[in-house]
């Protein structure tokens, strides 16, 4: 199912599950006493579908902790400082919150990267909401002064029109702060009772204001409407606080005269602005029409409802209508049934995972299509080095670790950038060339005490620690896991790389006593790009094993001198080596090659091996470098050419024995062909083999008569016992 766009028609209560899950994993602690109140405010906003609060709160948290993720239009707005100061006063600084909660807040309801890739128009609408608020945030000082003079807090219409706040949650917080400042009742039961009654009056005021806007959507907040609201609600407030003298609200004529006199005087900031009503509402996101509830079934390529012009209503968005008690506190405890299944429950793996169906929620994580800078260039990608070597997650049980990777300007020139597709939902493209470098994060399970070799790391499957969370340069990372893709996939860090210092933050969230995270190794890999001819030339010229080297290795293997100390060793008198290319199984290799990690002497044809690598666009897939014979690591930098087999091929070709499929190498390094007779040419091959055996001496003749290799079992007694 496609991920639904976060428009005003989408119920915010859907995000309560994420809050419950976070609270289960990170219960508030005495070390961070501000965590619980901030979570409670967020839950209250989610309960009443307060999208304005979610938008303003997320952007505020990003301004505090990750401003680099915000669009320039917010960072460069002249009023953003006033808006940040106001929210800091109302919500408290994020520095008082736990690191886990701060990370959670900057991604609620969705990470900025998701908005950028999937819903750019929705992101623009959210920016408009915050900018409208930032443009009028400075007026709060003037409004507070007015409230102190008249001895009653601001009302819904004033907060909406003068300060640009449509969020019920933020309005209630500002009303409460002003009430406490004006009344100065202290922390007594009577003060609490009066505050509850005042909030009840404010809720009724907000509901009446919202209903009046719905009934008369085009009416501006003129002085007469302002005086009417003051007269109605200040009287109720005065009746509640009889011990406080509340002045009579000014008449309509008085207010008109007062405002008229202000127009004839120079404007001195800050002033209470009366914004254009229609402009204020038209800058807010529009609600989709009735078919919005079917959006979840639409294709991921379809534009979000808020981006579909013909399907959007022209009716301006009204202030939130509170259909139930919006001040009701949300019980953050677990409901009667557990939110999560009891350990050690594991979600069953799909028999045949279909990412195109089950991984649509991570469509924005699709790998970009690789394009060669020069056409008709055959390119290959493979892991060539480490920016951070494989490291065990041992000391991360109770803290957030940081890995720092420095990138020079020269390295930055070799890192390609992504080119975003204009077609909605289409993957981005990445232009690469010889020596292009990519960076990625990978994790494996490793239960052995010794660290893995380079070959073992390369062939180990990716496996993500379920209790680990990562951010790279303050951008949260999403894992593509086996449950959705059939296998876990590495995380591409390339688009987030910047010159200078890059920081990976690692956090482990685990139940007490769970040490399973220590079985995982994590590394940052460097992926290199090379041309076809570059790989072939390097293998032939630099990574070529001479015939004497190969023969000496075979002699040591057959003699047992290369074995480690073991209780029992199996020694062979000879070694059979296949000569045919495993891809065709019908001809010898033109360039016999194998991996350094291979334990066999059989080879595959280098050209055929390279041309059969799986491709993604104009380049090979990074992790498809396994030996076709033994599945060991066979990345280009570890491929070697076997000159011994090349000499064998040349000699067999000279003697007219191209039909030979195997040879037998004796303990002295001499070899004889092991012909496989065919029905129509048994005599020819036998005669040719006998002629060849007679020319190489009695050692080969005797070996050729052996139907199979003899095996001696030698007991090795450890004298230390």
Q: Which domain-ending residue is among 483, 500, 535? A: 535
Is residue 718 helix, strand or coil?
coil
CB atoms within 10 A of CB 385: 12
Residues 556 and 660 in one domain: yes
- Among residues 535, 568, 591, the one where a domain terminates is 535
The CATH number assigned to the domain holding 577 equals 3.30.40.10
Instruction: Please report which helix (H) or strand (E) contains residue 481, including its range.
Output: none
Residue 387 lies in a domain: yes
Whichever domain contains 375, its CATH number is 2.60.120.780
> Does residue 10 or residue 195 have the better pLDDT?
195
Q: SS3 for 503?
A: strand
- What integer best gives the mean pLDDT of the chain? 76
pLDDT band per the 50, 70, 90 thresholds, residue 689: very low
Are residue 89 and residue 188 in the same domain, yes or no? yes
Q: Which of 535, 566, 593 is the last residue of a domain?
A: 535
Calculated CA dihedral for residues 703, 709, 715, 720, nearest 10 degrees: 80
Nearest by Cα to 26 from 96, 101, 76, 91: 101
Q: What is the pLDDT of residues 158-183, one digit of tens each?
A: 888 888 888 889 888 888 888 888 77
Residues 20 and 83 in one domain: yes
Report pLDDT digits (tens) over 245-281.
334 444 434 433 333 333 333 333 332 222 332 333 3
Does residue 556 sit in the same domain as residue 593? yes
Would residue 105 count as lying in a domain?
yes
Looking at the structure, tell me whether residues 554 and 527 fall in a common domain.
no
Which residues constitute the domain of residue 490? Answer: 365-535
Its pTM stands at: 0.50
Nearest to 273 by CA among 134, 143, 121, 162: 162
Q: How many domains does the chain have?
A: 3
Q: Residue 721 falls within a domain, yes or no? A: no
Q: What band does 235 get if pLDDT is binned at 50, 70 and 90?
A: confident
Same domain, 471 and 383: yes
User: Are residues 489 and 549 both part of a single domain?
Assistant: no
How are strands ordered across the β-sheet holding 592-595? 544-545, 639-642, 592-595, 604-605
Question: For residue 7, is it within any domain?
Answer: no
Report yes or no on 341 lying in a domain.
Answer: no
Residue 188 lies in a domain: yes
Residue 37 pLDDT more than 70?
A: yes
How does pLDDT run across 67-110, given as a tens digit for each residue?
A: 999 998 899 888 898 888 889 888 888 889 999 999 999 998 88
Answer yes or no: do 443 and 508 share one domain.
yes
Cis before 686 (ω within 30)? no
516 and 649 both lie in a single domain: no
* Most confident segment among 136-140, 221-225, 404-408, 678-682: 404-408
Measuring CA to CA, which residue among 233, 240, 235, 185 is closest to residue 212?
233
- What per-residue confidence (pLDDT) applies to 330? 37
* Choice among 146-155, 380-389, 557-566, 692-701 with the minimum mean pLDDT: 692-701
Give the per-residue pLDDT at 678.
53
Question: Within this chain, do residues 43 and 136 fall inside the same structural domain, yes or no?
Answer: yes
Same domain, 60 and 143: yes
State pLDDT tens for residues 617-667.
889 999 999 999 999 999 999 999 999 999 999 999 898 888 888 999 998
Q: Is residue 569 part of a domain?
A: yes
Least confidently predicted of 191-200, 381-390, 622-631: 191-200
| Residue 612 forms part of a structural domain | yes
Residues 469 and 426 in one domain: yes
């Amino acid at each position: 199912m496609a991920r639904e766009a976060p428009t005003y028609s989408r119920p915010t209560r859907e995000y309560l599950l994420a809050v419950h899950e976070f609270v289960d994993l990170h219960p508030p602690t005495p070390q961070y006493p501000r965590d619980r109140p901030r979570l409670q405010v967020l839950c209250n906003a989610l309960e009443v579908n307060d999208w304005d609060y979610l938008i303003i709160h997320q952007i505020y948290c990003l301004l505090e902790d990750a401003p680099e993720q915000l669009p320039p239009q917010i960072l460069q707005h002249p009023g953003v400082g006033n808006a940040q100061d106001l929210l800091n006063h109302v919500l408290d600084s994020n520095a008082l919150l736990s690191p886990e909660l701060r990370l959670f807040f900057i991604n609620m309801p969705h990470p900025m990267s998701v908005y950028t890739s999937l819903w750019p128009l929705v992101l623009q609408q959210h920016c408009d909401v915050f900018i409208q608020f930032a443009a009028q945030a400075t007026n709060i000082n003037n409004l507070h002064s007015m409230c102190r003079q008249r001895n009653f807090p601001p009302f819904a219409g004033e907060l909406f029109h003068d300060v640009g706040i449509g969020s019920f949650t933020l309005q209630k917080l500002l009303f409460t702060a002003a009430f406490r400042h004006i009344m100065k009742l202290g922390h007594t039961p009577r003060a609490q009772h009066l505050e509850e009654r005042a909030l009840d009056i404010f809720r009724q005021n907000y509901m009446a204001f919202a209903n009046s806007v719905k009934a008369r959507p085009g009416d501006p907040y003129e002085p007469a409407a302002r005086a009417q609201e003051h007269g109605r609600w200040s009287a109720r407030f005065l009746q509640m606080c009889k011990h406080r003298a509340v002045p009579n609200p000014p008449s309509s004529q008085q207010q008109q005269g007062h405002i008229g006199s202000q127009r004839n005087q120079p404007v001195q900031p800050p002033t209470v602005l009366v914004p254009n009503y229609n402009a204020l509402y038209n800058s807010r996101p529009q609600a989709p029409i009735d078919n919005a509830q079917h959006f979840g079934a639409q294709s991921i390529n379809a534009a979000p409802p808020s981006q579909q012009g013909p399907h959007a209503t022209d009716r301006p968005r009204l202030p939130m209508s509170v259909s139930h008690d919006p001040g009701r506190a949300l019980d953050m405890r677990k409901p009667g049934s557990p939110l999560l299944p009891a350990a050690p429950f594991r979600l069953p793996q799909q028999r045949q995972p279909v990412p195109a169906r089950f991984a649509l929620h991570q469509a924005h994580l699709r790998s970009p299509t690789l394009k060669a800078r020069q056409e008709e260039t055959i390119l290959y990608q493979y892991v060539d080095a480490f920016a951070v070597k494989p490291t065990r997650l041992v000391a991360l049980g109770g803290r957030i670790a940081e890995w720092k990777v420095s990138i020079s300007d020269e390295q930055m020139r070799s890192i390609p950038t992504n080119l975003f597709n204009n077609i909605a939902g289409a993957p981005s493209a990445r232009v690469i060339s010889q020596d292009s470098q990519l960076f990625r994060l990978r994790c494996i399970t490793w239960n052995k005490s010794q660290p893995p070799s380079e070959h073992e790391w390369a062939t180990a499957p990716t496996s993500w620690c379920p209790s680990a969370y990562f951010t790279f340069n303050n951008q949260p990372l999403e894992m593509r896991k086996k449950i959705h893709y059939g296998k876990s996939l590495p995380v591409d860090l390339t688009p987030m790389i910047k010159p200078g210092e890059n920081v990976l933050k690692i956090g482990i969230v685990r139940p007490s006593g769970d040490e399973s995270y220590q079985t995982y190794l994590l590394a940052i890999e460097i992926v290199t790009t090379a041309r076809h001819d570059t790989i072939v030339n390097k293998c032939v010229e630099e990574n070529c094993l001479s015939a004497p080297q190969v023969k000496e290795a075979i002699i040591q293997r057959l003699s047992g001198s290369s074995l480690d100390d073991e209780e029992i060793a199996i020694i062979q008198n000879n070694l059979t080596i296949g000569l045919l290319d495993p891809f065709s199984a019908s001809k010898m290799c033109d360039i016999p090659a194998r991996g350094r990690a291979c334990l066999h002497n059989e080879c595959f044809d280098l050209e055929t091996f390279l041309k059969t690598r799986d491709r993604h666009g104009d380049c090979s897939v990074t992790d498809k470098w396994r030996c076709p014979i033994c599945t060991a690591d066979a990345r280009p930098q570890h491929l070697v050419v076997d000159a011994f087999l090349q000499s064998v091929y040349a000699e067999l070709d000279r003697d007219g024995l191209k039909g030979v499929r195997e040879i037998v190498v004796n303990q002295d390094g001499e070899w004889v062909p092991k012909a496989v007779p065919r029905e129509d040419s048994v005599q020819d091959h036998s005669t040719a083999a006998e002629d060849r055996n007679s020319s190489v001496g009695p050692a080969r003749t005797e070996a050729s008569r052996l139907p199979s290799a003899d095996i001696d079992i030698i007991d090795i007694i450890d004298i230390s016992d």
